Chains A and B, each alone.
Chain A
Amino acid sequence: MPVRLAICALAAATALASAATAAAAPAAVTAWYMYGSSASDLKSYAYAHGCAFAQAQPGSGVRLLLLDFGAARKLDSSTWGAVDFSNTRFSNADILAALERAADGYHNCHLRGGVDIAYGNTNNNLSKSGMSGTDAWYAGYHQAERAEDLFRYQDAKGYTSQTSDAASDIEPSWESASITKQLVNGNQAQGWALDYDFGSADGCPQSGSADGTCNNGWHVSDVGYVSFHGLALPLPEIYYSANASQWTVVRKQWGGQYFFAGVTGSTGVGLSPASSWSTLDSLNSGLVDPELVCFGC
């Protein structure tokens, strides 16, 4: 987006120079899968992750600390939260408490730059867990609400190098498009937090700009919707060059102002994290922000 802004606002020569600069991948920052057998575990881990992130943070910019708390869930008639990767259910109150500890950890270990701490979840098996579309909508709404609660905590504590947002690992294979869209709609309705989509365009075509089919009955336009509608921003998983091609199709199909907030990479996959960013950027020059979060870095 920055280069896109430059293209719009500055002379073409300046924009081209900016595009050339954008070819260098940013240094990766670590994103975390959250595991914990209790709320106290979750808080301890989150504090440690916040501190470790601050200590390792490269450069002086604002970077994204993404904590993935697992699949969004309705825990009872009036309680939403997530089931984490150890298969433990946590309420949003527990998750907010953990996020606040992450903010404390970042503050205590802060060396440079700033941070956007994101409450991450996934669209894994929402309907199989008994959630309706309305439930998914509320899950998105309350997720954004907790992100805002975190910001109020950061603000009250004088953590002026911090802000907060939401994020979702949205995978077409994990849930229908119709219910998944409700997560995004709920977030949009709450209206405060950006909603980074750090998922995939699983099964989508790798060329063209048509609204082709993807896995699990999804279409390219559905991936565009969950990654750019309202407050959503794409931070796509680019593990193989095919993923970059798929997301380029998503961008072209959506058209207009679509840009990428960065890239989600990983170790142990086909592309190194830096290559994942560069590969997407090479197909979408000037439309990929210099953010690179990495699971496994």
Chain B
Amino acid sequence: MLRLLSGLAVLGLGAGLAVAAAGGVPGPAEKSAALARLASVATTDSNTAPAPVPRFAAHAIPARILGPDAPVPVSPSLLRAGNGWLMSDGKTLVAVYAGAAGDDPAVGRVVVVRQNLVAGRQTMEQVDAGRTGALSIVGAQTGGLRLRTAGGRLLLLELGNSTSHIVLTEPGYGDRPLPPRTSDSASHSPRR
């Protein structure tokens, strides 16, 4: 944005804007006033007095499953979401969305959004379960969520503080190779 603003400030109008302003194809001319406003933004405030600091009044959001009517923030290109789950203690928030990979409905996928509202951090984590079909969240248990595959198998999503893992909960599940370090884990390291 800096270069855009600098360019506008220095050059006034680029050729594209000039063409549009002269009655050419609709486009940047319609944006020119707003872009000029952007170009006028200073880097200091004329008022240096601090604003009142509001009392941090965030409340907990009890853990709950979000149905298909709840908006999903994750792009369908990343996740074809079926349902979600949300919990917040007022300072940290975890939201989990389950479904299938955007580019392959055979791949089960969850996306975990974490917010630390005090520290001002937000992370997104994607965890794939392999070729399970779409996943859905069926319930919560201590430390994680229970997932159901398209074929009806149950999986556990372990929710760590910063990374999550999908763990098999049924013996004999062999749709994909198990990592060598454990005998019962099908954890997929999230792509970071």
Q: Is B145 an interface residue (CB 8 A)?
A: no
Which of B122-130, B135-143, B150-158, B170-178 lies at the interface with chain A? B122-130
By the criterion CB–CB under 8 Å, are A295 and B3 in contact? no
For B27, B61, B77, the residue with the greatest tally of chain A CB atoms inside 10 Å of its CB is B77
Known: A1-B7, A32-B122. A8 touches B15 (CB 8 A): yes
Query: Complex: how many Å from CA A64 to CA B103?
Result: 29
Whether the pair B14, A160 counts as a contact (CB closer than 8 A) is no
Instruction: Tell whether, in the assembled complex, residue B14 and residue A8 are in contact, meaning their CB atoms are under 8 Å apart.
Output: yes
Q: Contact partner of B1 among A240, A267, A291, CB < 8 A?
A: A291
Main secondary structure on chain B at its contact with chain A? loop
Question: Of B47, B54, B72, B126, which one neighbours A47 at CB under 8 angstroms?
Answer: B54
Q: Roughly how many angstroms separate A165 CA and B34 CA in the complex, as a whole number?
A: 9
Stretch of A34-42, A131-139, A274-282 contacting B (4+ beta carbons < 8 Å):
A34-42
Bound form: Cα–Cα A116–B31 in Å:
15
Interchain nearest-CB distance for B140 vs A (Å): 16
The residue in chain A whose Cβ has the minimal distance to the Cβ of B12 is A9
Contacts A8-B15, A68-B73, A269-B126 given; does A162 touch B41 at CB 8 Å: yes
Residue of A nearest to B44 (CB): A161
Residues in B whose Cβ lies below 8 Å from that of A267 = 123-125, 192
Residue in contact with A2 in the complex, picked from B7, B17, B20, B190, CB distance below 8 Å:
B7
In Å, the complex CA distance between A173 and B126 comes to 20
Which 9 pairs across A and B sit closest by C-beta, in order of nearness? Answer: A52-B120, A158-B47, A61-B2, A8-B15, A296-B124, A5-B14, A2-B3, A104-B51, A257-B16
- Are B122 and A296 neighbours in the complex by a CB distance under 8 Å? yes
B77 touches A243 (CB 8 A): yes
- Give the residues from 7 to 26 in chain B that come closer than 8 angstroms, CB to CB, to chain A: 7-8, 11, 14-17, 19-20, 25-26
| Total A residues in contact with B, Cβ cutoff 8 Å | 105
B50–A107 contact, CB under 8 A?
Answer: yes
Shortest Cβ gap from B108 to chain A (Å): 16
The answer to whether A289 and B71 touch (CB under 8 A), given A53-B120, A296-B124, is no
* B88 adjacent to chain A (CB < 8 Å): yes
Q: What are 7 of the A-B contact pairs (CB < 8 Å)?
A: A47-B54, A70-B73, A125-B71, A160-B41, A161-B41, A243-B77, A257-B16
Tell yes or no: A181 within 8 A of B by CB: no
CB distance from A170 to the nearest CB of B (A): 10
Whether the Cβ atoms of B1 and A4 lie closer than 8 Å is no
| B60 cross-chain contacts in A, Cβ below 8 A | 37
